[in-house]
Amino acid sequence: MGTTDLAVKVASTTTSRHEKVINDLSIQVATVNGSGSQSANTVLLRSIFRMGIPVSGKNLFPSNIAGLPTWYTIRASKNGYIARRKEIDFLVAMNPETAEEDVLSLRAGASAVFDEKLNLQRLRDDVIFYPVPFDALVAPVCPNAKLRKLVRNMIYDGVLAKLLGIPMGEIHEALKQHFMKKPSAVDLNFNAARVGYEYAEKNLPKRGRFYLERMDATRGKIIIDGNAAAALGAMFAGVTVCTWYPITPSSSLAESLASYMKRYRMDPVTGKATFAIVQAEDELAAIGMAMGAGWAGARAMTATSGPGISLMAEFVGLGYYAEIPAVIFDIQRTGPSTGLPTRTQQGDILKNAFLSHGDTRHLMLLPASVEECFSMAVEAFDLAEEFQTPVFVMSDLDLGMNNWMSDPFPYPAKPMNRGKVLNAKDLERLGGFERYRDVDGDGIGYRTLPGTKHPKAAYFTRGSGHNERAIYSERPEDYVNNMDRLSRKFETARKRMPGPVLQESDGAEIGIIAYGSTHWAIVESLDQLRQEYDLPVSYCRIRAFPFSERIMDFIRRYQRVYVVEQNRDGQVYELLRIEADAEDIPKIHSIRHYKGVPIDARSVTDEIVSQEGKK
C-alpha cells in the first residue's frame, strides 16, 4: 500500500464504466513538498466551489520543509459528501519520486495528467494518460527563472479546467481572491493557467467519464480551515490572553488569531490592543501563563497538540484542583511520541479526559466541523469561566489544517458568561466569602479576582490540600469534601455541555456513535449502508465529555452500537464502557481507523457490513 492509503486498483462501483459522471470525482495532485503547489491547489478548489459544486480539499503532507512527497486531494461531490474518498479519478503526477506508485494505485478508468518526461503511459493500459510538457510551457510565460517552479503548477490548473470543464473565468476570479493584494501575481499565474488550457485544447482530446458542470449548492457558503475558524471563535469569545508554543498542527490557530486580533482588536491610531498574544518558551510556560491569566480573570487560552499536552499535564491538574479557568485547543496529530507529526488522529481523548495525576476529570468539547470549531471555541470560554476549570477543545489536523465548506458562522447568541465572580460591592453585601464552598449545590464555588479592592477579597490559591476557606489542610474530611464537590461540579457540567446530535432511522436495529472529524465519513457511510445493503442505521454524534445521559439512552435503544473513531485503542469506546450500564456493555463495538490519513466512508461501511455478517 502506498503512503497515501489509496491502493484500490479495482474498486466496486455502481455506475457502468462508460456512463458520464458529473460533479462526483476526486482529484489528487502529487507534488514535492516546498514546490509551491498550494496556490495552484487552492485556486483549483475555489474554482470548483465557485461553480456551485460542493467541494473539499485535504492536504497530506510530510513533516519536512522541502523535498518529500506531498499530496493534495480535492473531492467534488454533488451529494455534498466532504469526507475523504480513497479512490482517485484524476491524478496530477508532478513528483517524479512517487509518480509510478501514484499511477499504479489508480483504479481502472482513472485519468493521469503528468509531466511528459516521466513517461508514465508505459505503466498501464487501463488508465487515461495526458502528458504535458510543463517546462516547455512555463518558460515563455515566466521569464523570471526563480518564479518558474511556482508558476509551473498553475499550468495543471489550466489543463484540468479544459479536461473537466471549469470555466477559465472562475480560475481568474479564484486567483484574484487568492492573491488579494498582488495584481501582478494574478496576471502571471493566470497566464500560466491559460497556457495549460490552450495546450490541452490543442493536444489532449478529452477521454474518460468525469465532468464538472455548474450547479447551485455552494451559494452563500464559505471555505475555511478549522484553525482559522477556532481563532475567529476565540476572538468573538472575547479572548484576552493567548499564550502558545509552536507545534504542528496547532500553530496556525495562534497565528490566525494574531492576524485577526491585530485587525479587529487593536486601535488603528494608538496601536493599543485589547489582548496579549505571547509566544512562550515552551508548553509548560504556555499553559502556566494561561493559568496565571485565567486566575487573574482574563479569558485565557493556549493551542497545542499531543506532545505539548503531555508537557502541560501537571499544570492542567493544578487547574482542575485549584479551579482555574483556561481554554486549551488540542489540535490532535498522530502519536504516540512524535508519531506522524503531520498526520491526523483522534488520539488524545482518553489522555485528556483524565490528564494529570490523582483523580482528575476534564471537560472536553468535540467539534466535528469548522462551524463547530467556531461555536465551540466561543462556548469553551464560557464553560471555562462558568466551571472555573481547564476546558479542552479537541480538534484534529484534518479539521484544523484542511479547507472545509461551511455555512457562514452565526454571531454568538448569548452574552459572555464570566461565571461566579464576586466584586467589591458583592463582598460588601455578603460580608465576605469562602472560595471553595458549595453555596449553590452545583459544586461551583465563588471566586474573586486579584486586585479586587476589598479587605475580604483575597484568598490563597494552591495545588495542595485546602479547605472551603482556601486554607491549607490535610484533614481527611476537608480533602474528601473538596474531592466530592469537584465530582458534583463534573455532574453539573454533564447537564450543561452540548448534548449529542441524534439521527435515528426507522427500523434501525443498530447504531453508530462517532465524534469530531470522523462525522463526515459516517454521514456518507449511512447512505451507503442503506443504499447498497438496505441496512438502516441510527447515528449518535457525541459533542462533549462528560457524556450526556442521552448517549447512554441511545445505546440502550439499539441492539448493537458501533463506536467509530480514529485511534488504535478505541478511546471513546473505552470511556463509554466505563460509563455504560453493565448490561449494555456487550452491545458496544469498536471500529478503529488509525492510518494517519482521514477516515473514509467506505472503510466504515465495509467494517460494519463485515461485523454484521452481511458480506
Say whether residue 480 binds another protein (CB under 8 A).
no
Whose CA is closest to 189, among 140, 152, 145?
152
CB count in 10 Å sphere of residue 305: 30
| Contact residue for another protein among 53, 224, 331, 508 (CB under 8 A) | 224
Give kind and range of the element (H or E) at residue 26. strand 24-32
Is the distance from CB of 518 to CB of 590 less than 8 angstroms?
no
Say whether residue 588 binds another protein (CB under 8 A).
no
Task: State which residue, 441 or 451, has the beta carbon closest to another protein.
Answer: 451
How far, in whole angstroms, is CA 283 from its chain's centroid?
21
Q: What is the DSSP string of 200-263?
A: HHHH----SSEE----SS-TT-EEEEHHHHHHHHHHHHT--EEEE---TTTHHHHHHHHHHHHH
Q: Kindly state the smallest distance separating residue 185's Cβ from another protein, in Å.
A: 18
Task: State which residue, 97 or 474, has the beta carbon closest to another protein.
Answer: 474
Is the distance from CB of 323 to CB of 43 less than 8 angstroms?
no
CB count in 10 Å sphere of residue 280: 17
Say whether residue 314 binds another protein (CB under 8 A).
yes
| Contact residue for another protein among 166, 204, 235, 309 (CB under 8 A) | 235
Say whether residue 244 binds another protein (CB under 8 A).
no
Q: Kindly state the smallest distance separating residue 495's Cβ from another protein, in Å.
A: 25
Task: State which residue, 46 or 541, has the beta carbon closest to another protein.
Answer: 46
Stretch of 98-106, 159-167, 450-458, 526-534 lying at the interface with another protein (CB under 8 A): 450-458
Q: Give the whole-angstrom CA distance, residue 467 versus residue 104.
A: 67
Task: State which residue, 22 or 276, has the beta carbon closest to another protein.
Answer: 276
Q: Using CB under 8 A as the criterion, what x/- string covers residues 407-446 for binding another protein?
A: -xx-xx--xx------------------------------
Site for another protein in 259-288 (CB under 8 A): 260, 264-265, 267, 271-276, 278, 280-282, 284-288
| Contact residue for another protein among 238, 306, 546, 570 (CB under 8 A) | 238
Q: Give the whole-angstrom CA distance, residue 361 versus residue 577.
A: 16
Q: Kindly state the smallest distance separating residue 536's Cβ from another protein, in Å.
A: 36
Q: Cα separations (Å) of 377 from 230, 302, 348? A: 6, 12, 18
Say whether residue 217 binds another protein (CB under 8 A).
no
HEC assignment per residue over 472-487: ECCCHHHHHHHHHHHH
Q: Kindly state the smallest distance separating residue 36's Cβ from another protein, in Å.
A: 23
Is the distance from CB of 9 to CB of 64 less than 8 angstroms?
no
Site for another protein in 381-410 (CB under 8 A): 408-409
Phi, psi of 23 (to 5 degrees): 55, 40
Task: State which residue, 64 or 274, has the beta carbon closest to another protein.
Answer: 274
Burial 448-457 (b: 16+ CB within 10 A, else e): beeebebeeb
Task: State which residue, 212 or 232, has the beta carbon closest to another protein.
Answer: 232
Task: State which residue, 145 or 413, has the beta carbon closest to another protein.
Answer: 413
| Contact residue for another protein among 457, 555, 572, 580 (CB under 8 A) | 457
Q: Kindly state the smallest distance separating residue 155's Cβ from another protein, in Å.
A: 27
Q: Kindly state the smallest distance separating residue 7's Cβ from another protein, in Å.
A: 35
Say whether residue 358 binds another protein (CB under 8 A).
no
Say whether residue 452 binds another protein (CB under 8 A).
yes
| Contact residue for another protein among 214, 462, 556, 568 (CB under 8 A) | 462
Phi, psi of 32 (to 5 degrees): -100, 135
Stretch of 2-10, 122-130, 218-226, 592-600 lying at the interface with another protein (CB under 8 A): 218-226
Q: Give the whole-angstrom CA distance, residue 607 versus residue 585.
A: 20
Residues in contact with another protein, total (CB under 8 A)?
Answer: 71
Residues 6+ apart with CB under 8 A from 104: 9, 123, 124
363 phi-psi bin (left φ>0, alpha ψ -120 to 50, beta other): beta
Q: Kindly state the smallest distance separating residue 435's Cβ from another protein, in Å.
A: 10
Task: State which residue, 473 or 611, has the beta carbon closest to another protein.
Answer: 473
Task: State which residue, 93 or 234, has the beta carbon closest to another protein.
Answer: 234
Stretch of 35-43, 295-303, 392-400, 587-595 lying at the interface with another protein (CB under 8 A): 295-303
Q: Give the whole-angstrom CA distance, residue 484 versus residue 138.
A: 70
Say whether residue 240 binds another protein (CB under 8 A).
yes
| Contact residue for another protein among 74, 155, 293, 444 (CB under 8 A) | 293
Q: Kindly state the smallest distance separating residue 217's Cβ from another protein, in Å.
A: 14
Task: State which residue, 432 or 586, has the beta carbon closest to another protein.
Answer: 432
Say whether residue 295 binds another protein (CB under 8 A).
yes
Which amino acid, residue 245? Y
Q: Kindly state the smallest distance separating residue 177's Cβ from another protein, in Å.
A: 8
Peptide bond into 249 cis (omega under 30): yes
Stretch of 10-18, 22-30, 293-301, 519-527 lying at the interface with another protein (CB under 8 A): 293-301
Task: State which residue, 310 or 461, has the beta carbon closest to another protein.
Answer: 461
Whose CA is closest to 137, among 202, 198, 195, 95?
195
The strand pair at 326-332 and 128-132 is best described as: unpaired
Residue 88 grid cell: 482517485
Burial 533-571 (b: 16+ CB within 10 A, else e): eebebbbbbbbbbbbbeebeebbeebebbbbbbbbeebb
Task: State which residue, 113 or 237, has the beta carbon closest to another protein.
Answer: 237
Peptide bond into 546 cis (omega under 30): yes
Is the distance from CB of 330 to CB of 380 less than 8 angstroms?
no
Q: Kindly state the smallest distance separating residue 251's Cβ from another protein, in Å.
A: 19
Q: Give the whole-angstrom CA distance, residue 488 versus residue 441.
A: 8
Stretch of 124-132, 298-306, 335-343, 570-578 lying at the interface with another protein (CB under 8 A): 298-306
| Contact residue for another protein among 460, 475, 553, 614 (CB under 8 A) | 460
Site for another protein in 68-127 (CB under 8 A): none
Residue 392 grid cell: 479542552
Say whether residue 291 binds another protein (CB under 8 A).
yes
Q: Kindly state the smallest distance separating residue 183's Cβ from another protein, in Å.
A: 18
